[in-house]
Amino acid sequence: FPVTIDGAEWFRLASDMLNGLAYLHSKKIIHRDLNPANILATNIGYKIIDFGISYKQGLPKVTLTNLRHLFYASPEQLEEKGKVTTKSDIFTLATLLVFAGTHRSPWSKSPDALTDKATGLVQSEIVHNTVHNEANYHSLSTNQKKFLRTLHAKKPSERPTAQEALELLKSYATHAFLNPVEKSPNLKTYRDWE
């Protein structure tokens, strides 16, 4: 994402990604590598691309010694014996949405955390915080934070499915994910583009 995405566009990104994940997960496909490079912005919305390391449940697993985008990985992807499920994609999406809305990592204090400038120390901090600490949502709105905390539950069993997360997202639609003091008369809400 070359620029920070906010307001109705952030909501559209979240909605499009959850719709895509709900479809993939209904086909028993786990993407395993959601990151900004694997999201395509089109004139009809955002699309998930690059299924190079995706996994279809029931087929033999491809073992990866290191994930290309560990900055977005779920705790179970970072743990040696963690079991990756569709709920791993939900956690990863939440991290991606924080980056889209802030251009910052929820797992590091470093502004360079999600860039090529990230040092080994910053990478270690991200891995440690992803597994053990709560996310930092920086300047996101209260409603965005509430939504993302649900997706960022450390235990996969406590995270919603993509369809459940989509319903939760829609329940916040009337608020356009903004605090009352942030409302703008020019801001379009979910209903304006649905």
Active site residues: 33
Give the C-alpha separation, 151 to 100, whole Å.
Answer: 15
175-179 contact pairs (CB < 8 A, 24+): 175/143, 176/7, 176/8, 176/11, 177/7, 177/10, 177/11, 177/141, 177/143, 177/144, 177/147, 178/7, 178/141, 178/143, 179/141, 179/142, 179/143
| Cβ neighbours, 10 Å, residue 77 | 21
Q: Are 18 and 93 in contact (CB under 8 A)?
A: yes
Instruction: Spell out where 15-154 has E strands.
Output: 29-30, 39-42, 45-48, 55-56
- CA dist 110 → 72, 103, 121, 122, 137 (Å): 15, 11, 10, 7, 13
